[in-house]
Structure formats: C-alpha cells, structure tokens
A and B are shown apart, each in its own frame.
Chain A
C-alpha cells in the first residue's frame, strides 16, 4: 500500500484538522464526536440540512457544508456509517429552530444509524425527517436486496435542497422536494480498479488488467457484473442506456410520521425517463479517473441522451462522490423542472462546490 498518510488510525482526524485549517471561514469541525457545521453557527429560522456517511467519498459530505448546501455533515470511519451520537450532536448544533432534514444514502448501516439519531432528536423535541436517497439502477429489485444504493443523486439533491432551505422552505416542503428529486434521479457506476482503505492496506476486490466492474457502489464493494474492458464510448452507451431504459421502480421507504409519532413505511414508485424531459447530467469520477476521461464520458453520454430526446439543461463534471483512489466513473441523470433549475443555479459557497457568490 502506498498512501499519503501517517498512521491508518489517524487518517480521519488529520483530514478533518486539515479541512478546518483550510476552510475556517466556511466550516467548523467538532472533534468529539466528529461533525462539521457551518462556521457561522445555526441558521435561524431555516431548515437544517444534515447528511453523513462513511469517509472516503470526499468532497462529499463535509465539503458540501456551507451557504446554499448542507448545515452539517457527519463523517464516519472510511466506508463505515457514522454513529447516532455524532448525528444527534450535529442536529443539536445545526438546528436553527425550523427542524432538521437528514439526507440519508440507502445503505443498511446509514439508514439504521440515522433512524436511531432521529429518534434521539425527536425525544428532545426537535422536528426531524429522514429522506432516503436510492438512485443506483444497477440494483434491479428491492425485494431480495437492501434496495437501490444512494449514489450520485445525493450531491445534486444536497445542492438543490440547500438552496430551498435558504429560500425559506419549511421542513415539510424541503422533505417533499428531496423526495421528488430522489424519484427523478437515476445513476450507474463502474470501476476499472479497486481501492484500498487505509485500515486494510489491500484492495477491496481483485480485478484483472483487462477487466472492469459494472454496477459498483461507492464503498469499494464489487459490482453487479464483471466484464472485459471496452472503449469509453461502449461503456458510456451501456451505462446511459441502462439509466434511460430503466423501468418503473417501486420500493417501501421508512419515514417519520409526525402525526402518528412513529416510523411508517411508504411505497414510492419512480417513473422512467421520457422524451422531452429536461435533466441535470452529472459525470462523476470515483477518485482515480482524471477529468480528461470524464469529458470523454460526457461526450458520448450527451450523444445518447440527445438520441433519446432528453435535454441536458445543466451539468456537473468532476470528482464529487468518490471511492478513495478508485478508477472509474458514475453517471447520474436527474429530471428537473424550471423551479429546480433555479434552485440549482442559486448561489452556493462550500469547500467543494462554489458558484454565484
């Protein structure tokens, strides 16, 4: 293993110390337990957006704390969900009196930990909702699996919902927007190489020089299938068509029912893309793939969406939701209306995403 680290045990702490030193104007890092809030403290009267997950996906989520995006982020160990005590402390620190929306990627650990955190906050009288993001079309069904994973859509949703919070949406309205955006988004990822977590020191999976892994998540876990490597055009076409031809997807998600005071399972059905849809297109690097190759992916993806009659109205290209040093990419398409585009264009000022101010 070759890594720019001191000791594997100190990677998270030192990374956070570095973030604090670099971005003291934007964020404040709390070390016991770990969470990141905006430097200016809670934003009074605005819904606090909180996300979190394992580390190793930088800049997500800590790099998205700041004006127009998240109010707090909870980093776990590398590829391991953070814990309820972190999330609870973050909720208390970020709550500006208008409640807390937890944006949760659909992984078993993340979902369970955020549920326990929500229960703790509710017990203290903080209004909370958890919205689960599950956009990964590589997972076909929810009946025999833990359901679709939360991947690229998370970045787009955190940006748009962050803008909605700045505009003064209340908890119910931000939750509804978050839910809709999730249902409008689909993603697919692939890997050329594995990645190495500092604690393990060896690759998460073995892969040959001439092979690629299709349908990966973001934790170095193997994907849905292994194939011989192909050209970027062939790979991009397969992924984009996979997203555009994905049918209706139904699953039940747990949400907090504020009237009943308990968790309820709600069934949601995502509708497929159709001709004439406007989308935000997001081509993401898994960490090791250079931006030059991402443009190669974008080139072909735009040709395919054009052929399907789908119009790309905004795009994002770069490493935003990564898997350490893994080579590979993901594509996310999210259907948007004019209001969502306006929220996308609204100013954002975070360590990882900045425009408009």
Chain B
C-alpha cells in the first residue's frame, strides 16, 4: 500500500533527486540531445514541490493531475508533455483515491506508460524513457499479481530500471532529437531513460 503521505514523499523525492542530478542529466543530453534535460526536469519538479502544500489534502488522482498540469506548463521540450501525460493518465485512473493498494500502483504505472506511448509513439528499443518504463511496469505487474509486497516489487523495479538504462547505451536512437545523430547516438546512455529511472527509484524510496 502507498499512503497519501507516501505519494507526497515520492513527489518530494523526485524534486530532490532531479535537483541533485540536474547537471548529470544535462551532460547526458549534451552528448546526444540539446543539453537541456536536467534543467527542464529540475524546473518542473521544483514547481511541483512548491505547490505540494496547497494540494496535499486533495485525493491522489487530483494530486497527480495537478502535478501533470504543472509539468506540462513548466518543463517544455518533449519531457513536459511526456511526463505530464504520465501523471495525467495515472491521475485519471486513480480519481478519488485516498490511498493506493499495491495493485493501484501497478495500475498507475500502466496508465502512465500507456499515456507516454500514446503521446510520443515510441516503442521498446527506440532509446527513450519507455525503455525503462516498459520493463518496470511489466515487472511490477508480475510481482504484484504474484503477491509480492510492494516495497519488494519496487526494489526489483529499481534494478530493472537500472538495467533498462544500461540497455539504452548500445541502441541507436529512433525518436527525439538524438535520432538525428543516427549511428553517433550509439554508446550513449539515454537521458530520458535516466530521469525515468530516478523517478522510479524515488517511488521505491517513498514506499519503504
């Protein structure tokens, strides 16, 4: 189970971890993108964090929707609509919830992933954030279905996410600005996959 306090903690940790890793994410994006991913994600989650006090008493669906609107209006680039859509779709599925069951967490990830794929049209292996979100969602769904406790399922999801990030290194990008580099995108870790891994790790830390 994830309480509302833990959901707030997750979003707070997202802000902290993206602030800490701002420069690193931008460096990754300098190699194969346009050198703004860390700055953009940090700007977005800083604003999410700043409004948490004002929305913390709403239901979890509404908290996610408010988070989505903030990300959509502050992040810009491709990450704004993509992460915004993740939280928007998750929020739609979890409307009215005051706490999340283990299964709700799996539902949240699936709804978020489907939203990202709908908006960005990326497939597995395109060297994008879905190369982390797909295996993470599948892993959590399997574990929750098998009755694994949430924290344990999410601990494994962090490992799966880390592997997903590593697996983007040899890939040639087919979506986003990195795709213009063709073969030259090979050998670099995808910044979007990396920020997704940080967000999943924050979720695990909030669940403990």
Footprint of B on A, CB under 8 Å? 33, 54, 76-86, 107-109, 112-113, 115-116, 138-139, 144-146, 149, 197, 199-200, 204-205, 217, 219-224
With a cutoff of 8 Å between Cβ atoms, the chain A residues found around residue B77 in the complex are 76, 80-81, 109
Q: Are A109 and B80 in contact (CB under 8 A)?
A: yes
Q: A144-B172, A224-B182 are in contact. List 11 more A-B contacts (CB 8 A).
A: A54-B76, A76-B77, A81-B77, A83-B75, A83-B76, A107-B177, A112-B81, A116-B81, A200-B30, A220-B35, A221-B34
With a cutoff of 8 Å between Cβ atoms, the chain B residues found around residue A224 in the complex are 180-182
Closest-CB distance, B79 to chain A (whole angstroms): 8
Bound complex: CA A100 to CA B22 (Å): 37
Question: When A and B form their complex, what is the total count of cross-chain residue pairs whose Cβ atoms lie within 8 Å?
Answer: 105
Residue contacts A-B, CB under 8 angstroms, 21 given:
A76-B76, A77-B39, A77-B43, A80-B36, A83-B75, A109-B76, A109-B77, A109-B78, A112-B78, A112-B81, A112-B120, A115-B119, A145-B174, A146-B177, A197-B36, A217-B177, A221-B177, A221-B180, A222-B181, A222-B184, A224-B182
Q: Are B175 and A79 in contact (CB under 8 A)?
A: no
Bound complex: CA A222 to CA B182 (Å): 11
* Residue among B40, B82, B180, B184 making CB contact with A77, cutoff 8 Å: B40
Q: Are B36 and A108 in contact (CB under 8 A)?
A: no
For residue B184, which residue of chain A has the nearest CB? A222
Q: Are B26 and A200 in contact (CB under 8 A)?
A: yes
Is B187 part of the binding interface, using a Cβ–Cβ cutoff of 8 Å?
Answer: no
Q: Are A204 and B80 in contact (CB under 8 A)?
A: no
With a cutoff of 8 Å between Cβ atoms, the chain A residues found around residue B175 in the complex are 108, 146
For residue A111, which residue of chain B has the nearest CB? B78
* Residue among A113, A146, A199, A219 making CB contact with B76, cutoff 8 Å: A113
With a cutoff of 8 Å between Cβ atoms, the chain B residues found around residue A81 in the complex are 76-78, 80
With a cutoff of 8 Å between Cβ atoms, the chain B residues found around residue A79 in the complex are 34-36
Is B176 part of the binding interface, using a Cβ–Cβ cutoff of 8 Å?
Answer: yes
* Residue among A33, A108, A113 making CB contact with B177, cutoff 8 Å: A108
With a cutoff of 8 Å between Cβ atoms, the chain B residues found around residue A33 in the complex are 73
With a cutoff of 8 Å between Cβ atoms, the chain A residues found around residue B28 in the complex are none
Closest-CB distance, A244 to chain B (whole angstroms): 22
Closest-CB distance, B105 to chain A (whole angstroms): 26
Q: Are A146 and B180 in contact (CB under 8 A)?
A: yes
* Residue among A149, A199, A200 making CB contact with B180, cutoff 8 Å: A149
